[in-house]
A and B are shown apart, each in its own frame.
Chain A
Amino acid sequence: NAGVTQTPKFRILKIGQSMTLQCTQDMNHNYMYWYRQDPGMGLKLIYYSVGAGITDKGEVPNGYNVSRSTTEDFPLRLELAAPSQTSVYFCASSPSPLHEQYFGPGTRLTVT
């Protein structure tokens, strides 16, 4: 039981490039979340999903897209990377909003 896994661990992008951050969970959780954490700050919700095929915006969705075709996977897409997207990205999952959420190890992204 690996929990929540994220790839890659680190990535450097040039301005305007695109990439997909991968997130997979093996706990059969319906709810999945993407957060970003800027240096010295708390976590802000980017997007979340309540089940396969259903996604919704969080606090800071601009510049990102998500999809949820399976229960296990919740990829986050950056289409045109900007320096403001330099951050650490965390994926999390939970059985429901009334249960605790479990976090992946994070992806550290730098856009230069």
Chain B
Amino acid sequence: GIQVEQSPPDLILQEGANSTLRCNFSDSVNNLQWFHQNPWGQLINLFYIPSGTKQNGRLSATTVATERYSLLYISSSQTTDSGVYFCAVVASGTYKYIFGTGTRLKVLA
């Protein structure tokens, strides 16, 4: 089955810093989403982005489906950005979402 790997696994930032999170996948996909899991465990949709680029405030994401990766950019990080960031994909020809391993982000005040 498709493999989804995220990097880095852990990231510590000072408030105000920028960061880039990466999601690599091993096969073609029909769907890709980025989620933020906050410290209370809630999963929050960030982007639905099977291809192209999207921006929402300080966050933006780019998926290059032909090269099998997606990037999540966080600018001017805030302590509320702390948590775990997951990407999830649906491999072409399937109905199943497969989650990546996650990037655990801690933003220090």
Q: A97-B31, A97-B90 are in contact. Are A42 and B101 (CB under 8 A)?
A: yes
Give me the interface of B with A, judged by CB distance under 8 Å: 1, 30-31, 33, 35, 41-43, 45, 48, 50, 86, 88, 90, 94-102
Give me the interface of A with B, judged by CB distance under 8 Å: 31, 33, 35, 41-45, 48, 50, 56, 58-59, 88, 90, 92, 97-103, 105-106, 108
* Sample (25) of A-B pairs whose CB atoms are under 8 Å apart: A31-B95, A33-B97, A43-B88, A44-B99, A45-B96, A45-B98, A50-B95, A58-B96, A59-B96, A90-B43, A92-B97, A97-B31, A97-B97, A98-B30, A98-B31, A98-B90, A99-B31, A99-B48, A100-B31, A100-B48, A101-B33, A101-B45, A101-B88, A103-B35, A106-B41
